[in-house]
Amino acid sequence: MARPLSAAVFTAVLGLSACLLSASPAEAATGAITGLAGKCLDVAGADSADGTPVQLYDCNGTNAQQWTVGSDGTVRALGKCLDVAGNSTADGAKGQLWTCTGGPNQKWTVTAARDIVNPQADKCLDVTDNNSANGTRTQIWSCGGGANQKWTAPASGGDGTSSGFVVSEAQFNQMFPSRSPFYTYSGLTAALGAYPGFATTGSDTVKKQEAAAFLANVSHETGGLVHVVEQNTANYPHYCDWSQWYGCPAGQAAYYGRGPIQLSWNFNYKAAGDALGIDLLGNPWQVENNASVAWKTGLWYWNTQSGPGSMTGHNAMVNGAGFGQTIRSINGSLECDGRNPAQVQSRVNAYQKFTQILGVPPGNNLYC
């Protein structure tokens, strides 16, 4: 288990090609569209009336969140189309549901950067005010690259994935043949919207190398995505630091390791929860009960924490530092510089296997 440079002990690990959102009728893709904070594009109240707001909402699997990408570039739910109100091209024009007319305000393109663009306005589908609260309306806005304009949409073709992630579900299953049913592929892809730069930065090779690096470290930490919670229950009462001003509101023994990075300690639940907009300090059990939340904590560490290293795992991969630096950022103080070469080799073996599955070379600097 790693000790980051901060006093916080963190027991943790840690393209979609540009295409028109279209397919032949037989290839039309249906599924959730996830965005800011991993929430779903949603039809308010599951109401199919013309003019019903299209909003952001917790993913719930209902028909109000099932979007079909049509052969004509439309995006449909409840039998109607995602529409820009008033055929407007202005910043702030609202997204709504409307009877499909074939008009240009109902045409959409998804880019490699996960923007969903209305070509008529040349503007992006946007979550108003970067607000991840349930019920926040969508609009079109000049594309700026913000997280509130990043979406993971169902699509067909390209790299063969239906999620927009560079790892297909079949490849994920090949990587983790004995995984716990908790660690779902859909949970992972739903979490991607929280960190839209993950596995979407750089060349196709770099994108796949980063995905492989993250998943290899996660695999090592969880025994191949087998373990959801820390196995040594005797450790559970040890992860409460009462010196923190907020204490341990969920209880002395509530902050044990959970999820793909085995998130532990009250201060790490607080930091991850604050970053993700989720109350993990008050309800840490979300990490073991909600696959998307669990994956978000892993992506939080990977994209924002350098641990005992000098860079995040994300930066190590996209800036060419190599897989070895991701090991250092996750558990370098216990494994790197000859401290535990067998553990390092285990991580490297997983990374080499996963890059082979994805069809890319592992690159240089594999060891730390």
Mean pLDDT of all residues in 72-91:
90
Q: What's the confidence (pLDDT) of residue 191?
A: 87
- Say if residue 3's pLDDT is above 60: no
Mean pLDDT of all residues in 175-187:
90
Q: What's the confidence (pLDDT) of residue 227?
A: 94
Q: What's the confidence (pLDDT) of residue 28?
A: 54
Tens of pLDDT along 102-144? 888 998 876 656 778 888 888 899 999 999 999 999 999 998 8
Q: How confident is the model at residue 353 (pLDDT cuts 50, 70, 90)?
A: very high
Of all helices (H) and strands (E), which one includes residue 347?
Answer: helix 341-358
Residue 230 is a catalytic residue: no
Of all helices (H) and strands (E), which one includes residue 123?
Answer: strand 123-127
* CA count, 13 A, side-chain hemisphere, 168: 14
The catalytic position among 169, 210, 221, 288 is: 221
Mean pLDDT of all residues in 329-340:
94
- Entry field: residues in the chain: 368
Mean pLDDT of all residues in 320-331:
95
Percentage of residues in the chain with pLDDT exceeding 70?
A: 87
CA distance 59 to 57: 6
Q: What's the confidence (pLDDT) of residue 24?
A: 30
Tens of pLDDT along 37-78? 878 899 999 998 999 999 999 887 778 888 887 656 789 898
DSSP β-ladder status, 116-118 and 75-77: unpaired
Percentage of residues in the chain with pLDDT exceeding 90?
A: 60
Domains of the chain: 1-17+160-368 (1.10.530.10), 22-149 (2.80.10.50)
CA distance 131 to 148: 8
**Lowest-pLDDT choice from 20-29, 81-90, 219-228, 355-364:** 20-29
Task: Name the more confident of 5 and 229.
Answer: 229
Q: For 194-260, give the DSSP string.
A: GSTTTTTSSSHHHHHHHHHHHHHHHHHHHTTTT-SB-S-GGGGGGG--TTSTT--TT-TT----BTT
- Say if residue 164's pLDDT is above 90: no
Q: What's the confidence (pLDDT) of residue 113?
A: 65
Sequence letter at residue 358: L
Count of other CB atoms within 10 angstroms of residue 304: 14
